[in-house]
């Protein structure tokens, strides 16, 4: 059974990243607890399962379960995980169903000793690689592409782990940001396009940290984070960090949705805080799509707050809170039919009639995917007395699916793939509708050049996507393999 996600019920079945990854090498520190804190800062990147692997120089211990971090880990779990290095993972599934055997980190045996791998992204050739490995006698326990990566590395015949990882990178097509744990090292690895973010920083009192976002660095006391470059391996052991360009950088293509929605606003990418980038998006949106005569600008919390502030700054229309978000609703095992999705919106968002009544409202949100939830929010505002509702979206129309690690529906489910902006406006019941242009998005990101993947807006995929995957996203469960639970599924 799939989760009904009340956590993002107010966010238009929002694009959700596959996961967050974290790694730490810090002898003498409580690495399991620090990993737990780092993962808490990355909880927004995945809420289906969580796991931590710890190495002490001889063995690796892994604990992982379904659920949020506070549900998976308790004091006795962390106390029992002692070592000098660790990696962790929070998951939202895009390849492989949401079951325990697909939770991460994935732990495997190898010629280099035990390994644990945590992965953010999607492999485009996972089906082919899995079939090749099976022909060579490799057995799989789960159905996700992350296990393909782990077993590909473990099955390498290279003389050492770093060479095995570098060799595997030449065989993998797609998006991946990895943390890899061995008995005596932690590695950070990024694909040659750099689609998914990954950075490294030094702890204030010794040791090093690798994480999906800089917000996880701040929590554990690491500073001066630098990005791991596309195609790079960073290996951290007793000698400190060693950086190696394992495969050539092809075309920097950081996912633009990291800037729009996915990453936390206090994270830094390309040298800028995402909160400021999102405020710029709002200012450009106000310039491109003004709302003359509007009385108030309101965000759909939380990820649209910065863009709404920017829209208010750019337009001169006062900013205010028009809806309150309940922050204590997470997940339930209710089936996500349309009736429950609508109920989820009303449980998650409460309008403020005293703010909205009789007003012409500019409602700022970060994206429209299917269109159903946005329409529900527009009705919510009208029911609270809003005279007019002008919807402004701080991203371009999402017309194409993502194949690089975001759960974003198929093309037939994307409302902008089939409808014009005017048709979408009528569908959601807004008085006016305006999207940020692709040019405005790029200028707001302010990286100095186009170093982003914008395929979900343009259909131009930087990493070629096979035609069969364009038609339907692949599933490793379709292979007919009989998956049996084994010892690695019960690691604790």
Alpha helices in 238-273 (DSSP H): 256-257
Catalytic, 19? Answer: yes
* Tokens 């995980």 sit on residue: 81
In 3D space, the residue among 24, 186, 181, 170 whose CA is nearest the CA of residue 113 turns out to be 181
Cβ(291)–Cβ(315) below 8 Å: yes
**Residues forming beta bridges with residue 363, ordered by sequence position:** 298, 391
H-run or E-run covering 425? helix 421-428
In 3D space, the residue among 22, 451, 479 whose CA is nearest the CA of residue 208 turns out to be 22
Residue environment code for 267-283, b if the CB has 16+ CB neighbours within 10 A, otherwise e:
bbbbeebbbebbbbbbb
| Sequence-distant (≥ 6) Cβ neighbours of residue 194 within 8 angstroms | 227, 229, 230, 231, 249, 252, 253, 254
Cβ(231)–Cβ(246) below 8 Å: yes
In 3D space, the residue among 392, 413, 262, 214 whose CA is nearest the CA of residue 317 turns out to be 392
Q: Which of the 8 DSSP states describes residue 333?
A: -
Radius of gyration of the chain (CA): 22
For helices 421-428 and 372-383, the axis angle rounded to 10 degrees is 50
238 burial (CB, 10 Å; 0-12 / 13-18 / 19+) is exposed
Find the catalytic residue in 19, 199, 445, 453: 19
Residues marked active site are found at 19
């Amino acid at each position: 059974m799939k989760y009904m996600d009340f956590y993002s019920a107010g966010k238009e079945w929002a694009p959700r990243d596959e996961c967050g990854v974290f790694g730490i090498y810090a002898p003498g520190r409580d690495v399991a607890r620090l990993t737990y804190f780092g993962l808490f800062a990355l909880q927004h990147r995945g809420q289906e399962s969580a796991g931590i692997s710890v190495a002490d120089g001889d063995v690796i211990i892994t604990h992982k379960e379904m659920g949020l971090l506070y549900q998976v880990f308790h004091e006795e779990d962390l106390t029992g995980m002692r070592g000098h290095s660790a990696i962790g993972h929070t998951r939202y599934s895009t390849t492989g169903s949401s079951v325990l055997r697909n939770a991460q980190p994935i732990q495997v045996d190898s010629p280099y000793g035990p390994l644990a791998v945590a992965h953010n992204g999607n492999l485009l050739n996972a089906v082919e690689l899995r079939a090749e490995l099976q022909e060579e006698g490799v057995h799989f326990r789960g159905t996700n592409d992350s296990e393909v990566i782990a077993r590909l590395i473990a099955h390498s015949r290279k003389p050492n782990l770093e060479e095995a990882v570098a060799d595997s990178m030449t065989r993998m097509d797609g998006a991946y940001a990895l943390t890899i744990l061995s008995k005596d090292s932690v590695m950070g690895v990024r694909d040659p396009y750099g689609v998914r973010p990954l950075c490294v920083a030094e702890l204030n009192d010794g040791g090093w940290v690798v994480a999906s976002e800089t917000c996880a660095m701040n929590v554990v006391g690491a500073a001066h984070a630098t990005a791991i470059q596309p195609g790079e391996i960073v290996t951290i052991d007793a000698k400190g960090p060693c950086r190696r360009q394992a495969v050539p950088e092809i075309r920097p293509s950081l996912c633009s949705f990291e800037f729009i929605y996915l990453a936390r606003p206090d994270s830094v990418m390309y040298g800028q805080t995402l909160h400021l980038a999102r405020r710029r998006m709002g200012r450009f949106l106000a310039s491109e799509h003004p709302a003359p005569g509007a009385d108030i600008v309101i965000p759909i919390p939380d990820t649209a707050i910065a863009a709404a502030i920017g829209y208010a700054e750019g337009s001169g229309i006062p900013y205010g809170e028009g809806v309150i978000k309940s922050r204590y609703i997470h997940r339930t095992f209710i089936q996500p039919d349309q009736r429950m999705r609508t109920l989820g919106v009303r449980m998650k968002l409460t309008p403020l009639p005293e703010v909205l009544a009789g007003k012409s409202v500019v409602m700022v949100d970060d994206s429209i995917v299917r269109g159903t939830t946005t329409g529900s929010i527009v009705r919510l505002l009208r029911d609270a007395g809003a005279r007019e509702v002008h919807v402004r979206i701080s991203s371009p129309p999402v017309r194409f699916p993502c194949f690089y690690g975001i759960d974003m529906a198929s093309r037939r489910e994307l409302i902008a793939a089939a409808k014009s902006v005017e048709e979408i406006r009528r569908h959601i019941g807004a008085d006016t509708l305006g999207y940020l242009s692709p040019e405005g998005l790029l200028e707001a990101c302010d990286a100095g050049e186009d170093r982003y993947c914008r395929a979900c807006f343009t259909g131009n995929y930087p990493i070629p996507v096979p035609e069969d995957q364009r038609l339907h996203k692949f599933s490793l469960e379709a292979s007919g393999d009989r998956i049996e639970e084994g010892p690695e599924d019960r690691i604790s």
